[in-house]
């Protein structure tokens, strides 16, 4: 789905910060997040870091097209392990750790394994949603705009 062709970081099982190296900051659920985190719990961390850099480069253009705030809650074993907000509604766009500072238009609750399969293009997002692989609350149809953002990011 969001497979990046040329400068996609080499993400594979076991990649990520070393145990105890990364601490989720700015999250209202910080105390609910497991510490120290196991390496396998943060494959998605590298993905978010790369997307964040992309938003800094072309965020203003994305704000004009998307006009929405997305919150992504990445889970493992039913607990949130990583939370990111993608604000493509205000200023020149931003991505930051934690829950949305302003009300999110759409909130995705996605198990990390499903997120990685979606990211690597191994799973269709619409089929995964309809099969109940992840949850969406708020304006569900805005999910298509987020998918477009990730596809644009993958082209860079």
pLDDT tens-place values along the chain, 156 residues long: 454 444 444 444 444 443 333 334 444 444 444 444 443 446 788 888 888 988 999 999 999 999 999 999 999 999 999 999 999 999 999 999 999 999 999 999 999 999 988 888 888 999 999 999 999 999 999 988 888 777 777 776
In degrees and rounded to multiples of 5, residue 24 shows phi and psi of -65, 120
* 3 state DSSP class of 106: strand
pLDDT of amino acid 45: 82
Asked: is 59-146 a CATH 3.20.20.70 domain? The reply is: no
Q: Would you call the peptide bond into 36 cis, given omega within 30 degrees of 0 as the criterion?
A: yes
**Edge-to-edge, what's the strand order for the sheet holding 94-97?**
94-97, 79-88, 68-76, 106-111, 135-138
pLDDT of amino acid 32: 47
Domain boundaries, the chain: 59-146
pTM of the full structure? 0.73
């Amino acid at each position: 789905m969001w497979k990046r062709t040329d400068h996609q970081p080499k993400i594979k099982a076991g990649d990520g910060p070393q145990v105890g190296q990364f601490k989720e900051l700015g999250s209202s659920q910080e105390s609910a997040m497991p510490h120290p985190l196991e390496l396998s719990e943060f494959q998605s961390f590298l993905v978010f870091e790369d997307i964040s850099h992309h938003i800094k480069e072309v965020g203003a253009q994305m704000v004009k097209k998307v006009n929405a705030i997305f919150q992504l809650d990445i889970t493992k074993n039913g607990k949130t392990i990583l939370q990111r907000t993608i604000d493509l509604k205000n200023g020149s766009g931003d991505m930051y750790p934690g829950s949305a500072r302003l009300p999110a238009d759409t909130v995705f609750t996605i198990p990390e394994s499903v997120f990685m399969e979606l990211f690597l293009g191994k799973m269709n997002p619409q089929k995964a949603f309809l099969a109940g692989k992840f949850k969406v609350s708020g304006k569900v149809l805005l999910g298509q705009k987020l998918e477009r953002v990730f596809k644009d990011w993958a082209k860079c």
